[in-house]
Amino acid sequence: MSTPDYIASIGLEVHVQLKTDSKMFCGCPVRFGEPPNTLTCPTCLGLPGALPVLNGGAIERTILTGALLGCSTPEVVKWDRKNYFYPDMPKNYQISQYDLPLCLDGGVPLYELAYPKDAQKDIVNPGKTVRLTRIHLEEDVAKSTHHSSYTTIDFNRAGTPLMEIVSEPDIDSPEEAVAYLNSLRQILVYSGVSDADMEKGQMRCDVNISVRPASQDELGTKIELKNLNSVSSVRRSIQYEIGRQIEEIEAGNKIVQATWRWNDEVGQTEIMRTKEDAHDYRYFPDPDLLPVRTSEMVASVQEDLPELPHEKVERFEKDYEITHYDASVLAAEQALADYYEKAAADASSPKKVANWVINNLLAVLNEKSISIEECEVAPEKVGALVNLVESGQVSNNQAKDVFAELFESPDKSPAAIAKEKGFEPADSSEVEAFIDEAIAANPGPAGEVAEGNDKAANFLTGQVMKLSRGKANPKQVTEMILKKLQS
């Protein structure tokens, strides 16, 4: 959203809870929505003398994330204490990684469909990748809930493995920030690393924003916005903050480096603390944890990398000969992509199956507000139904009826439902007679078809469909009309 006179530079720090069975440094289970303080032990409560034990699964998932995003992993990584006093972290330090994190460099590709809907038509930097600085692994803190005169703390969340993904200030606009978060989320969900649900706090975001005059090379002073917990608040807060900083600069004021917060209700940013009272975390290596050699884990992760959304899109375009857009819609969600592939497996036209899934199936799911995972109609049945249409057994409209019935009786086959409904193709001599009747009754359009106007045949096809009460196959009828009048 940089104006011609100003350039905005935005970097994101995203905290993502990993999908692991147990916590980062103890055996307590990781579960959401349990009664407060029931999933705890001396280690995640931060009691004196309790020792941390590393969760290998969390390390592996972080290395996997790095591998998918093109990061490198140092030979040896280590664990550091980040010291600060806070009620949600009673041992008064967070175990994190300072100078040897699990992943360095790499980048997040911005997918077209990850941009806000209203910005997809006019993407300023198509195919852009936002560079990453690092990804490190740490422990989540407890969850504080502030009441009117007191605060409660739930330690169920304390010690959940938390991956912090830090980007370079490569993002130019609020729309790119949205695309970054959605693309990243897609990749994390795809690879099973995290559910990354922002509403559940599984993905949280801090934003760094600076603005500078277009004539200036070095970045302006940055403002950090803390703890944004929805994609829409990320977009609106960046939009607001860019405008605010430009106004300050225009008024001749200096931007002072500080931490701000976004007030979603009022729709504006508010100052939290300036650099003077910034924390000095006094990082030092955690004496309770040994450094980790990574080469074996990196090798085993590399051996079995899951397919990424954009790789799937390319494969779908090639293997099923569908458009880039259709492939992107289908590949946006792993479960939907799997459904489509099963539906298309034995279908005569994978392209028609794609249309059917995108236009009909998604509409019904949306209407019933159920997810693709909850869809009771097996993908093979959608493939079989499309085959019935393609072979002329049922018309497109009849297929819609069959499809609706499939949701009522998901155990029946499309062919059986079509038969029950009396959707059998009219026999060809009957159709032949209807065509003769339609031509005789409509000499005008018939003449136009005879003179080579193929489109005029549509009208005659419509008449034949009426005469056959929808039983004829419109595609075949049109072909027969053209043959009759043009040869």
Residue 26: which of Mn ion, Zn ion, none does it interact with, CB under 5 to 8 A by kind?
A: Zn ion
Q: Please, which residue, 41 or 258, has the CB nearer to Zn ion? A: 41
Binding partner of 164, given Zn ion, Mn ion, none, CB within 5-8 angstroms per partner class: Mn ion
C-alpha pair distances (Å), 275 with each of 81, 100, 223, 278, 283: 22, 26, 10, 5, 18
Question: Whose Cβ is closer to Mn ion: residue 15's or residue 128's?
Answer: 15
CB of 48 or CB of 252, closer to Zn ion? 48
Picked from Mn ion, Zn ion, none, the partner binding residue 477 (CB below 5 to 8 A depending on kind) is: none
Closer to Mn ion at the Cβ: 226 or 412?
226
Residue ranges in contact with Zn ion by CB under 5 A: 26, 28, 41, 43-44
Residues that bind Mn ion (CB under 5 A): 164
Residue closer to Zn ion by CB (options 59, 132) is 59
336 binds, among Mn ion, Zn ion, none (CB under 5 to 8 A by kind): none
Distance in Å, CB of 57 to Zn ion, minimum: 15
Binding at 154: pick from Mn ion, Zn ion, none (beta carbon under 5-8 Å per type): none
Least distance (Å) between residue 53 CB and Mn ion: 21
* CB closer to Mn ion out of 164 and 341: 164
Least distance in angstroms from the C-beta of 285 to Zn ion: 22
Q: Which is nearer to Mn ion, 141 or 365 (CB)?
A: 141
Closer to Zn ion by Cβ: residue 43 or 97: 43
Q: How far is the CB of 267 from Zn ion (least distance, A)?
A: 39
Q: How far apart are CA 179 and CA 185, in angstroms?
A: 10
Q: Which of 364, 365, 363, 413 is nearest to 393 (CA)?
A: 413
| Residue 138 vs 448, nearer CB to Mn ion | 138
Shortest CB 204 distance to Mn ion, Å: 9
> Could you tell me the smallest distance in angstroms from the CB atom of residue 21 to Zn ion?
13
Geometric angle at alpha carbon 43, from 143 and 137, rounded to 5°? 65
Identify which of residues 77 and 357 has a Cβ nearer to Mn ion in the complex.
77
Q: How far is the CB of 211 from Mn ion (least distance, A)?
A: 25
**Residue 241 binds what, of Mn ion, Zn ion, none (CB under 5 to 8 Å, by partner type)?**
none
User: Can you state the angle between helices 474-486 and 428-441, rounded to 10 degrees?
Assistant: 60
| Residue 206 beta carbon to Mn ion: minimum distance, rounded to whole angstroms | 9
- Bridge partners for 258 per DSSP: 223, 274
Residue 234 interacting entry, from Zn ion, Mn ion, none, C-beta within 5 to 8 Å by type: none
41's contact among Zn ion, Mn ion, none, with CB below 5 to 8 A by partner kind, is Zn ion
> Residue 82 Cβ, how far from Mn ion at the closest point, in Å?
8
Task: Name which of Zn ion, Mn ion, none residue 246 binds, using a CB cut-off of 5 to 8 Å depending on partner kind.
Answer: none
CA 211 to chain CA mean position, Å: 29
Taking CB atoms, the residue at the shortest distance from Mn ion is 164
Q: Min. distance of Cβ 45 from Zn ion in angstroms?
A: 7
44 binds, among Mn ion, Zn ion, none (CB under 5 to 8 A by kind): Zn ion
